[in-house]
Structure 1
Amino acid sequence: MTAQVWPGVASADPRIARIVAEQVQPSREVDVTVRSPSMGADLLVKVLPAATDGPAPTLYLLNGAAGGEGGSSWFDQTDIRSFFTGRGVNVVVPMGGAASYFTDWQRVDPTLGRQRWATFLTAELPAVIDTRFDGNGRNAIAGISMAGTSVFQLSLHAPQRYRALGSFSGCAQTSDPVGQAVVRMVVEGRGGGNTLNMWGPPSDPAWAANDPYLHVEDFRGKSIYVSNGSGAPGRYDTLDGPGIDGDGMKLFDQLAVGAVIETATAQCTRNLQQRMRALGVPATFHLYAGGTHSWPYWQDELHRAWPQFEEALAG
């Protein structure tokens, strides 16, 4: 299917984010290419338009550390196409941002390039989505793994942008020694980037400024849903589990690597829960007994979180 190039692009103000092309897929979603002035790049954003008359709210779903590449996106790994049919919400999945923490980096990175995701996601993209897909300005955002941290950081960056936040298997602590080690593992270990270009050296105030654990009070008034498995094998960690399909190596990876990561994020999640309780900041926490760091559990958690998101977006 040929992508539609939008008229007037050549004469558009280069300082304003705009759609430069879009393609409607047979499976209903619309692939929208958005020119980002802050990033100096054309970025793919996949949208499930609300099947309703009149303006609709928008749910942004962020992928994890792979940025949606290699089949690791909400569209590839979950049932969002069918689940959100008839629910009256625009569902937006930005693609890219691998190992970036979806934040604004201080400097261009030789490997990961120019990263200004916070500006793109909070200041540029919402107006584009609302104009093209008749959004009503009421937004929620949820993310998995790395992005389970980013959703809180984006709310700190733009306090009025999101009514609801969803964090599935994320780690909200980023500025203490353990948190910094986790961030380096993602940015440097998985992405080949350099955290010095992101938030500077460990002593740089940017680390604390982007640490949700230190800014829990700023989330008061948001509708918050946080979940995490224990890391122990759960009901999907079997040979016939979703995405495993009898592949013993996939199961081994999910039980080994996925268990270690989920165990670590579970500790972060318990720490966040304790701090929110201590400060009296309301939030829903779902800490389930079994479950590794894998998509079938995150699909379940999105289903569980949706009624809470829906209520927040309705008012």
Structure 2
Amino acid sequence: MHRILRTLRSTALLAATTLLLTAVPVHAQPHDHGMDPDVVVNPADTPNRPDYHGPESSSWLPGGLQRMSSDPTVYEGFIQDFRPQTVNPMFPGGRDHLPKADIDMDPQILARLREYARVDGDRIRQINAYSPSMGRTIPLIWIVPEDLSEPRPVAYFLGGGDAGQGRDNWITKSDIVDFYSQRNIHVIMPMLGAYSMFSDWLEDYPDQGGKQMWETFLTHELPGPLEEALGANGRRSLVGMSMSGTTALLYATHQPGFYDSVAALSGCGDTNSWIGRRIIASIIEKGNGTPEMMWGAPNSDYSRYQDAIINAERLRDQPNMYVYNATGLMNSVDFEGPNAPEAEWQLKDRLTMGLVIEAGTNLCTHRLKAATDAAGIDTIHYDFRTTGTHSWDAWWNAVLEFWPLQARGFGIDAGPVTPGLDVGSSEPGRFPDIWGSAARSYGSATVPSLSSLLDDPVLSTRSSLTGSSAEGDE
């Protein structure tokens, strides 16, 4: 009898323990989020990524050119629907009914973040935020202000194509830690957004974690709970570069004023176009995604909603906005900067993809300026540079240019904004919009297609001077 009772008690205890363990929410259980550097070199890597048979890595020709011309996931037809789409077809009634993120301010630090982002649990810390819409925990990097005696603003910095999950990120490639901590600004950088455009996807993205609802996470789920946990003061800024430069343009278009300042560096807001879809495809195919998985067919309501140019009128209400782009030509920082190429392959990368990507986003940014000019919007601070590749030193210099505007949004006096950002300057290295006034060239806020731009007698003359052609662009 006693043996039976002992057996029953043991069984009941085991059952109760099992029940307690299974009752713990999945996102509260410890796991490495695929961020263990001993398992994968970079969680953004995609082992079964398609081979597009581009040039060998030793070639001086950029492999991305081959993919942009032959990638079968890219739409090949005409994209010519420029009707504005200002209502989000995914959430026509807004997101107020959706739950918010759960915040863990003191999680176990991931080995990858210690190694690749210098997270030390003190000056640079990790925060975990559970995203209900994505059903998983997102690690955040937090650069802590030196003085936490009063509420401080928050600057959200987004990464490039691999979302900063490898060795190249804002912490390792810039002076962001010293600069912002000394100025008592919280800096937050989300991880695990590789090749996602930090967007809300229509379809799952299996090779990058499944459901992608980054805009919902970053603009609805995260800010309130996180900023309350930080003891922030309600002022916030957004900075994006390369892939996330596009994200910054789209967030500002979708919710102007949600951020008190926005910087879009080397991004492409011209997304519902032939060249825009090609640029986007060349990014997200690295995770085995396609533009259709993300935004659906070109010209669809959701695809047009995700285009900053055809919805440029919305940017009228975005304060303290800074848009940077260079030409792709190498300059002094490419030889003398902290991140200047050291190995031969790095130099080749600057001379090829560093040129091609920056030149492509340069075209996108000029088309954005054409749209905002045509709409009579003169509050955006455009910074076009005669030289500069798609590289970290150029972006950090752009952040320093942005700082007075960013500080203004924080309610901080950081001195005057550099004169001439909008209309060009005699300062070496900075030039005005080479396409001229959009209002003079086409006289309306409707952005024409690339082919019609090149048919314009004024623009076609300028195109010949800059070395482009209708054949090359089409």
Give the TM-score normalised by the residue count of structure 1. 0.90
Which stretch of the first structure deviates more once superposed, 148-157 or 296-305?
148-157
Aligned-residue offset at 1:128:
2.7
Tell me the secondary structure at the aligned position of residue 334 of structure 2.
Answer: coil
Give the conservation status (yes or no) of the 8 Å contact 1:109–1:194: no
Give the conservation status (yes or no) of the 8 Å contact 1:63–1:72: no
Name the CA shift for 1:200/1:76 in 2 (closer, same or farther; >3 Å). Answer: same
User: Using the alignment, how far apart are the partners of 2:373 and 2:290 within structure 1?
Assistant: 35
Query: Which residue of structure 1 aligns with residue 381 of structure 2?
Result: 284
Q: 1:76 aligns with which of 165, 172, 197?
A: 172
User: Using the alignment, how far apart are the partners of 1:249 and 1:13 within structure 2?
Assistant: 41
Give the conservation status (yes or no) of the 8 Å contact 2:326–2:384: yes
The yes-or-no answer on 1:227 pairing with 2:324 is yes
Aligned-residue identity in percent = 31
The yes-or-no answer on 1:28 pairing with 2:123 is yes
Query: Which residue of structure 2 aligns with residue 302 of structure 1?
Result: 399
Tell me the secondary structure at the aligned position of residue 184 of structure 1.
Answer: helix
Which stretch of the first structure deviates more once superposed, 163-172 or 15-24?
15-24
Q: 1:66 aligns with which of 155, 162, 173?
A: 162
Q: 1:96 aligns with which of 184, 187, 192?
A: 192
Aligned-residue offset at 1:160:
4.3
Q: Which structure shows the bigger proportion of residues in strand conformation? A: 1
Give the TM-score normalised by the residue count of structure 2. 0.61
Question: Paired residues, what number?
Answer: 305
Query: Which residue of structure 2 aligns with residue 261 of structure 1?
Result: 357
Give the conservation status (yes or no) of the 8 Å contact 2:126–2:142: yes
Query: Which residue of structure 2 aligns with residue 135 of structure 1?
Result: 232
Query: Which residue of structure 2 aligns with residue 47 of structure 1?
Result: 142
User: Using the alignment, how far apart are the partners of 1:135 and 1:295 within structure 2?
Assistant: 28
Aligned-residue offset at 1:111:
2.4
Q: 2:344 aligns with which of 233, 248, 259?
A: 248
Aligned-residue offset at 1:92:
0.9
Name the CA shift for 1:309/1:200 in 2 (closer, same or farther; >3 Å). Answer: same
User: Using the alignment, how far apart are the partners of 1:211 and 1:81 within structure 2?
Assistant: 32
Query: Which residue of structure 2 aligns with residue 18 of structure 1?
Result: 102
Query: Which residue of structure 2 aligns with residue 3 of structure 1?
Result: none
Residues 89-132 of structure 1: per-residue CA shift (max 9 Å, x gap): 21111112111111111121232321000011001111232122
User: Using the alignment, how far apart are the partners of 2:333 and 2:351 within structure 1?
Assistant: 10
Aligned-residue offset at 1:244:
3.8
The letter of the residue matching 1:301 is A
The letter of the residue matching 2:361 is T
User: Using the alignment, how far apart are the partners of 2:376 and 2:152 within structure 1?
Assistant: 32
User: Using the alignment, how far apart are the partners of 1:308 and 1:159 within structure 2?
Assistant: 16
Tell me the secondary structure at the aligned position of residue 25 of structure 1.
Answer: coil
Aligned-residue offset at 1:57:
1.3
Residues 129-158 of structure 1: per-residue CA shift (max 9 Å, x gap): 212211122111010011111012223443
